Amino acid sequence: MDFNKPLILSEIANIVNGKVIGNSNAIVTGLNELHVVREGDITFVDHPKYYNKVLESKATYVIINKEVDAPEGKSLILHESPMDAFNKLISSSRPMKPANNMISESAKIGKGTIIQPGVFVGHNVSIGSNCIIHANVSIYDNTTIGDNVIIHSNTVIGGDAYYFQKRKGGYEKFLSAGRVVIENKVEIGASCSIDKGVTGDTIIGEGTKMDNQCQVGHDTVIGKHCLIGAFAAIAGVTVIEDEVLIWARVAINKDIVIGKKSVIMATSAVDKTIEGGKVYMGSPVMEVRQYWKYFASLRKVPELLKKVNL
């Protein structure tokens, strides 16, 4: 996420009530989580397990809860609770703006697009040409939708990430400031939920078609010309490459890659990265031939047990 205008590091330290280690006059251009961080960005780390990974990342600035020397070319902000500081910075940079109309005055809607009754379109939304947005769809702030897109009734585009940190006595919500980007010729079924990125983008690639009641988690990137069956549940920060076929009731874990032209059969569960160009099924998934060999062997177990008097 880019700031509307760059900030001085000392300004950020004042916003979050932290202490600068390094160049307090440095220019900060944006904030991002580790997996999408760029030079000029500020990120955070609050666990010793990840100190080195974050300090050696592309991030130029880091909010950290341990006083350490700033690596060369970087500056730090010391804060007792880096996640709280990062949330405060998100809230300051992209505050919640209440809606006054069903379609925000700041929304841009292209020529030939049909908006059916009951549709909510938030602030700074861009919708391309020749789209059909069916009744009671909700499109949250900062969403970008391309041309020739169809979104069916009761779908929600841009809900918050399901992202919490365990605290004493409960959970602290990680605020979401990213976007959803839907490319050209996408069709999204009824009652789907597509969450915005935390600081980056959730992306649905050109020509992809989704059936009803699918869930797409934050920061997930779905490639071009994929087919996704009803009730699919796709966790956050997952990459689904081009031309993947995902059939009904498939569950996909977070932080994994589904290879190009994979086919995942109905009711399967994917718990790790899988290669492209293959057909998978089962829970957890296996290649189809391997699965049927496993299943055939499993059916012989009762007979084998009888032979050994068990």
Catalytic amino acids? 218
Residue 27: which of 60, 57, 68, 4 has the closest Cα? 60
Residue 168: CA atoms inside 13 Å, Cβ hemisphere, count? 0
DSSP letters, 34-63, are: GGG--TTEEEEE-SGGGHHHHHTSS-SEEE
Distance CA 49, CA 58 (A): 18
- Asked if 280 and 264 touch (Cβ cutoff 8 Å), the reply is yes
Give bridge partners of residue 167 from the DSSP assignment: 170
Two tokens, residue 87: 């949330």
Compute and round to an integer the Cα radius of gyration of the chain: 23
